[in-house]
Amino acid sequence: MTDEFDLIRRHFAGLTPAGEDVLRGPGDDCAFLRPPPDRDLAVSIDTLVEDIHFPATTAPGDIGWKALACGLSDLAAAGARPGWCLLSLTCPAADEAWLAAFADGFGALARREGISLAGGDMSRGGLSITVQVAGYVERGRGLTRTGAQPGDGVFLSGWPGRAAAGLARSLASTGQPDDPLIKALDRPQPRTRLGLELAGAGVSACIDVSDGLAADLGHILTASEVGAEVEATALPIAPELAAAGSRAQVREWLLGGGDDYELCFTGPYDLDIEGLAEAGGIAVTRIGRITAGGGLQLVEAEGGRSTLADTVGYRHFSS
């Protein structure tokens, strides 16, 4: 790690919690950590690139928030308790006001979720933010995409699709600052508490909905070598989403939109979703069931069904 991080360190001083696992934070070539000896480490890295992952008009505080939310959502999907993170920031200029606002958004989420910034790097270049997160799970209890079994229920937290609808509004400049759809886009809520509950609830597979529900559930199906039937009438549609577009448009946002950072998971069909929702602080809906094969089927109220290709979600390198 290089000394350029001085700049951002200054803006981050005291902004994130001092984790007891962080022996020594920024200021050396490496940061030093002492993970709890009886836990496995869950780690993830994600890069957000301007104009790819967020519009160039996004406020710096929202960029800071989202860059961390993205990693925290991976930890939630693994059932991990947030530990520490590293930040590598590439930006065109050392704009102190921009950095202060970025740090403000990043720090607000870090404090809420209890994750320490242990170090980082700073470079000149087009705006892009890489955050590496690490969290802790009980030994051998981390959640993965593998393990969904035929007969399992398929579950979903919250009301996905709102971030995609918010993006459409944001790009069309028709949204208001307090628009819940734009808020869902700019300040996504990683489902940390729910993820921690899932790790002990007998859940068989889990993923965060960052590429869109159909694509991400598709990843579970591929990894677990199973299929799924999703009931269209069971899909949770937020009132503000229902009011934001045509029925077809709403469905596209809900099935294909990413960036909501909700969790999609599988487990016993009669899982106590009310208990999970209460402990996890977010609604949980059973939207379907795992089948032995047949890909991802969407079943309509009248019994008609369609197969959802797993390419509905956003893919960086699809042709």
How far apart (Å, rounded) are the C-alpha atoms in residues 228 and 204?
A: 14
Position 182, amino acid: I
For tokens 């069309």, name the residue.
Answer: 172
| Enclosing H/E stretch for 219 | helix 213-224
Interaction mask 19-38, a copy of itself, x per CB under 8 A: ----xx--xxxxxxxxx-xx
Left if phi > 0, otherwise alpha if psi is -120 to 50, otherwise beta: which for 27?
Answer: left
> Which CB, 113 or 208, lies closer to a copy of itself?
208
8-state DSSP, 14: T
Report residue 66: phi and psi, to 5°. -65, -40
Cα dist. 69→45, 48, 114, 121, 261 in Å?
A: 12, 11, 12, 19, 8
Span near a copy of itself by CB under 8 A; candidates 103-111, 140-148, 176-184, 277-285: 140-148
**Does 211 interact with a copy of itself (rule: CB under 8 A)?**
yes
- Does the protein bind a copy of itself through residue 121 (CB under 8 A)? yes
209 contacts a copy of itself (rule: CB under 8 A): no
CB of 315 to a copy of itself, least distance (A): 7
Query: Closest approach of Cβ 217 to a copy of itself, in Å?
Result: 12
Contact call for residue 289 and a copy of itself (CB under 8 A)? no
Residue from 52, 171, 292, 309 touching a copy of itself (CB under 8 A): that is 52
The token pair at 237 is: 């549609």
Size of the site for a copy of itself (CB under 8 A): 74
Identify the CA nearest to 208 among candidates 161, 253, 258, 244. Answer: 258
Q: Does 15 bind a copy of itself (CB under 8 A)?
A: no
Q: Tell me how far apart the 2 most distant CA atoms of the chain are, in Å.
A: 63
Q: Which positions from 143 through 162 interact with a copy of itself, judged by CB under 8 A?
A: 143-146
Binding to a copy of itself (CB under 8 A): which residues in 80-109?
Answer: 80, 86-88, 90, 93-94
**Which of 28, 274 has the CB closer to a copy of itself?**
28
- Measured from the CB atom, the residue of 54 and 159 that comes closer to a copy of itself is 54
Binding flag, residue 124, a copy of itself (CB under 8 A): yes
* Between 17 and 180, CB nearer to a copy of itself: 17
Q: Residues with Cβ < 8 Å from 109, sequence gap 6 or more?
A: 64, 65, 68, 69, 72, 190
